[in-house]
Amino acid sequence: MKTREYKITQVLVNAICIIATFCAIIPFVLLIVGSFTDDKWASTHGFTFFPGEWSLDAYRYIAMKWETIGHAYLMTIVVTLIGTVAALFIAVLFAYGISKQHIPGMKIVSFLLVFTMLFNGGLVATYYCYTNILGIKDTIWALILPNMMMNAFNVILIRNYFVNSIPASLEEAARIDGAGEFKILGMIVLPLSKPILATIGLMTALAYWNDWQNGLYYLTARGGASYYTIQIVLNNINDDIKALAAAATSSSGSLSANVSMPSTTIRMAIAVVGVLPILVMYPFFQRYFVKGITLGGVKE
């Protein structure tokens, strides 16, 4: 029977969850409402959930400049897809290797993996390696390689999932039938690892989608502008909105008579455009997310 204390605890937990959900949703609502607010009214009165004047100028401006913003949007999708697949590929192979602790040398490799979580070469050494040795400056790889090589936390989660959630008897039976390691990985381990792969894939995709620092470090306006993603464009807008207005005027002659430069609300509108794919994708991965984190975080 449910005790009085249990019922009180459930009520408190549900209330806390409702409040937390409300606090998480409110900023998105304000973001969307702000993108439809008249720019002059927002500049004078600030953003509110019930603006005095509504306007589509920000979205008209996005449509007018879609050649630039749309290209950045396309680059974001390409970088996210390539980066997520490549990062998962490397993390899965690494995790599968260190999950076999009976193989000589795997403990040393595991130690080196954990060591990278505690220490790194620093920004200067990293920048030098990527630009002078790998030569990724002003290339699309500047947005892919730094995030792909490599997240030790993700590798540990996948490794723990392989060890604790994949029965060793299945692998042994496959080896008796003559299957090699790659066949075992591809036909047994991966199909049983959908929760952790979906979880790590979603976190990796979010990291790529929201990344703007790599563009700041490795892309220049002169040589790497064609690789700007939507987050880099948004960051540039936040840094210098006047420069964007000048560029828009010089490239198109003049802004449309019906569309003024919505310097305040354009940031909201681009943020809405940038976050929509993540909001659409997340519900499809949600059922795997909690399960993957829970099982992948279990230690031996």
Cβ count within 10 A of residue 93: 13
Q: Considering only CA atoms, which of 296, 277, 259, 290 is closest in space to residue 84?
A: 277
Q: Considering only CA atoms, which of 148, 142, 149, 123 is closest in space to residue 220?
A: 142
pLDDT given for residue 269 in this prediction: 83
Structure tokens at 272: 């809405």
Structure tokens at 197: 């792969």
- The kind and range of the H/E element at 243 are helix 241-252
Question: Do the Cβ atoms of 87 and 95 come closer than 8 Å?
Answer: no
pLDDT in tens, 166-182: 888 888 888 888 888 88
> What percent of the chain is modeled with pLDDT above 90?
4
Q: How far apart are the first and last CA of the chain?
A: 34
DSSP string for residues in 18-80: HHHHHHHHHHHHHHHHHHTB-HHHHHHH---SS-SSB--HHHHHHHHTHHHHHHHHHHHHHHH
pLDDT given for residue 256 in this prediction: 46
pLDDT given for residue 15 in this prediction: 93
Contacts of 235 (CB under 8 A, 6+ apart): 212, 215, 216
pLDDT given for residue 254 in this prediction: 47
pLDDT in tens, 180-233: 888 888 888 888 888 888 888 888 888 888 888 888 888 887 777 888 888 887
SS3 212: coil
pLDDT given for residue 289 in this prediction: 61
pLDDT given for residue 258 in this prediction: 44
User: Per residue of the chain (300 residues), what is the pLDDT tens digit?
Assistant: 567 788 888 889 999 989 998 998 898 888 889 888 888 888 788 888 888 888 888 888 778 777 777 888 888 889 999 999 998 998 898 888 888 877 888 888 888 888 877 877 777 888 888 888 888 888 888 888 887 666 788 888 888 888 888 888 888 888 888 888 888 888 888 888 888 888 888 888 888 888 888 888 888 877 778 888 888 877 776 665 655 555 555 554 444 444 455 567 887 887 888 788 777 777 776 666 655 555 544 444
- Look at the domain 59-296 and name its fold: MetI-like fold (1.10.3720)
